[in-house]
């Protein structure tokens, strides 16, 4: 999908809290991407039922070229069609679809809103914390159940990845984001040559682009499943090496062409290692026997041992976060530092990797960075303090936490180190180490 120029910049709310969309009232932002923004909402006259809290996926059409607007409308149509014709417990439920009429708000006029059941978090959130083998098996089983149903119903997801695997309030899997889903005609369908590079099968890069797009088969989902299985049991690690997506895609092509062996992480247990290897067979033909149904049969026949493994151990507070999918706020004195000899904080300078922002002095909202409320929760829009910071701002840090949630910046640098920042008044916040080039030696926050 093309990025929508109608999206407001950082600091502007498309749908502020309290905004009414049909029978729903917006309660906050969940997340945003290049072509959609997702909000939490509550039924305006709700009585506390299970469907009174939902997610609103907003797809803007204002400001788009006619062809782009048609692409957005077609993506929304696919999601609605799939939800209507192929419902399943392992697919996120679509409750309603609304087209906004807002002549007084040009950016919203004509926007398509998909009303969906509210999930607890994504699989990506769980991978950042670490999950044991038993729960990993439960998650992969749920993904296979969802894929098997999709394929039986004549659909290919085409964009399976941890961000699109939701964890429901019951802890079970819900596959989501069917904007790129393709309906099959016989053994294959046709669609745009789009998707997330790290999860595309090797043949997609060489598939000829015809009048109706590229040929897409169910084996594309099986390849992506192999990547996800590896991530689940290797603490988020991907099977193809590389510091950037381009490097990982090059490694994938080397493997597919027989110039490199498939090297799966030793942390992946043997059964899941074999399953992932079959999913990652280098060609469509070699993957074809490994259908979602056959993989599900193998999983259900598997009897894992009693020993559970946690590949990415975290302190007890993180385990509490895992129990609620990283939505538990850390309170009290658990993260208060030991007093230092002098009690003086260290200075850290904010570093923005976006080069276009490094030389600006106008403090443009689009160049601002957020400070987290809690370093043990995902570093997302609902976990930042109101105070924004910019490149080269100097902040006071009074302790460090080396075991926070991993954060990756735009240069693919990853760190679990966080600095606790003193703000004016009693407020504190957290800066991930990837947002500064300074590394002061501070006492550990307990």
What is residue 403's predicted lDDT score, i.e. its pLDDT?
Answer: 79
Instruction: Please check whether residues 400 and 329 belong to one and the same domain.
Output: yes
Strands 369-372 and 214-216: unpaired
Residue 334 to residue 322: CA distance in whole angstroms: 17
Q: What is the pLDDT of residues 209-235, one digit of tens each?
A: 656 667 889 999 999 999 999 999 998
Strands 94-99 and 24-32: unpaired
Among 250, 270, 301, give the residue marking a domain's end.
301
Give the span between the Cα atoms of 285 and 303, in whole angstroms: 29
> Same domain for 140 and 280?
yes
Rounded Cα distance between 205 and 25, Å, is 43
288 within a domain of the structure (yes/no): yes
Tokens 């802890």, residue? 171
What's the total number of domains in the chain? 3
Residue 311 maps to a domain: no
- pLDDT of 245-263, one tens digit each? 889 999 999 999 999 999 9
- Measured at the CA of 408, the angle between CA 407 and CA 411, to 5 degrees, comes to 155
Residues with Cβ within 8 Å of 284's Cβ and at least 6 positions away in sequence, in order, are 201, 203, 217, 219
Residues 268 and 409 in one domain: no
Q: What is the CATH number of the domain that holds 216?
A: 1.10.510.10
pLDDT (tens place) for every residue of the chain, 446 residues total = 444 444 444 445 678 888 888 888 998 888 776 678 899 999 887 665 656 789 999 888 777 777 777 778 878 888 888 877 788 999 999 888 888 888 778 778 888 888 999 988 899 988 877 788 889 999 999 999 999 999 999 999 999 999 999 998 788 999 998 888 888 887 777 666 667 899 999 988 777 665 666 788 999 999 999 999 999 999 899 999 888 888 999 999 999 999 999 999 999 999 999 999 999 999 999 999 999 999 999 999 986 543 333 444 333 333 333 334 533 222 222 233 333 333 457 899 999 888 788 888 888 887 888 899 988 887 777 788 888 899 999 999 989 888 788 777 666 566 788 999 998 777 789 999 889 988 888 888 86
| 3/212 Cα distance (integer angstroms) | 22
The answer to whether position 5 is within a domain reads no
In DSSP notation, 230-289 reads: HHHHTTT--SS--SSHHHHHHHHHHHHTTSS-----TTS-HHHHHHHHHHT-SSHHHHTT
Domain limits at 97? 20-117
Q: 106 and 235: one domain? A: no
**Same domain for 190 and 297:** yes
Give the helix ranges, DSSP H, for 2-88. 66-85
Please indicate, yes or no, whether residues 145 and 287 belong to a single structural domain of this protein: yes
Residue 55's domain is classified under what CATH number? 3.30.200.20
Give domain status of residue 330, yes or no: yes
Domain end call among 117, 143, 168: 117
In the block, which residue shows the tokens 């009897």? 303
DSSP state at residue 189: E
CB atoms within 10 A of CB 69: 17
> Which position has the token pair 């007890």?
316
- Examine the fold and report which residue of 117, 141, 156 is the final residue of a domain before the chain moves on: 117
Q: Is residue 265 part of a domain?
A: yes
Assigned domain for 386 exists:
yes
Say yes or no: 148 and 292 in one domain: yes
Secondary structure E strands in 14-143: 20-21, 24-32, 37-43, 53-59, 94-99, 112-117, 121-122
Both 161 and 266 in one domain: the answer is yes
Do 250 and 164 share a structural domain?
Answer: yes
Q: How many CB atoms lie within 10 A of CB 96?
A: 16
Task: Indicate if 142 and 110 belong to the same structural domain.
Answer: no
Q: Are 180 and 238 in the same domain?
A: yes
Question: Is residue 309 domain-resident?
Answer: no
Residue 446 within a domain: no
Q: Do 330 and 378 lie in a common domain? A: yes
């Amino acid at each position: 999908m093309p990025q929508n120029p109608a999206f407001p910049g950082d600091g502007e709310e498309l749908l502020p809290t309290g905004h009414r969309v049909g029978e729903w009232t917006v309660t906050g932002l969940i997340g945003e991407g290049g072509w959609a923004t997702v909000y939490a909402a509550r039924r305006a006259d709700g009585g506390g039922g299970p469907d009174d809290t939902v997610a609103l996926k907003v797809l803007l059409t204002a400001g788009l070229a006619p062809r782009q607007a048609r692409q957005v409308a077609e993506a929304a149509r696919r999601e609605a069609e799939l939800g209507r014709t192929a419902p399943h417990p392992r697919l996120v439920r679509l409750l309603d679809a609304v087209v906004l009429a807002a002549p007084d708000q040009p950016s919203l006029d004509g926007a398509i809103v998909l009303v969906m059941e509210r999930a607890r978090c994504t699989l990506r959130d769980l991978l950042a914390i670490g999950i044991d083998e038993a729960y990993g098996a439960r998650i992969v089983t749920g993904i296979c159940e969802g894929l098997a149903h999709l394929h039986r119903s004549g659909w290919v997801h085409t964009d399976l990845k941890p961000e699109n695997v939701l964890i429901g309030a019951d802890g079970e899997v819900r596959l989501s984001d069917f904007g790129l889903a393709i309906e099959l005609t016989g053994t294959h369908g046709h669609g745009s040559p789009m998707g997330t590079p790290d999860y595309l099968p090797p043949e997609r890069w060489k598939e000829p682009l015809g009048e109706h797009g590229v040929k897409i088969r169910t084996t594309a989902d099986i390849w992506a499943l192999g990547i996800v299985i590896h991530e689940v049991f290797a603490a988020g690690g991907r099977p193809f090496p590389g510091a950037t997506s381009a490097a990982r895609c090059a490694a994938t092509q080397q493997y597919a062409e027989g110039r490199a062996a498939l090297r799966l992480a030793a942390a992946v247990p043997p059964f899941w290692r074999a399953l992932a290897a079959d999913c990652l067979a280098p060609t469509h033909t070699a993957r074809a026997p490994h259908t979602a149904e056959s993989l599900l049969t193998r999983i259900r026949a598997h009897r894992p041992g009693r020993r559970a493994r946690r590949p990415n151990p975290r302190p007890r507070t993180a385990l509490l976060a895992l129990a609620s999918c990283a939505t538990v706020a850390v309170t009290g004195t658990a993260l208060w530092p030991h007093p230092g000899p002098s009690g003086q904080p260290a200075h850290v300078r904010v570093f923005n990797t976006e080069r276009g922002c490094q030389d600006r002095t106008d403090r443009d909202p689009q160049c601002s960075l957020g400070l987290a409320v809690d370093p043990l929760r995902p570093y997302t829009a609902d976990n930042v303090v109101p105070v924004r910071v910019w490149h080269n701002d100097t902040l006071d840090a009074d302790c460090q936490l080396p075991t926070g949630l991993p954060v990756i910046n735009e240069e693919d640098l990853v760190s679990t180190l966080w600095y606790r920042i003193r703000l004016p008044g009693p407020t504190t916040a957290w800066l991930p180490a990837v947002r500064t080039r300074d590394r002061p030696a501070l006492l550990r926050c307990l």
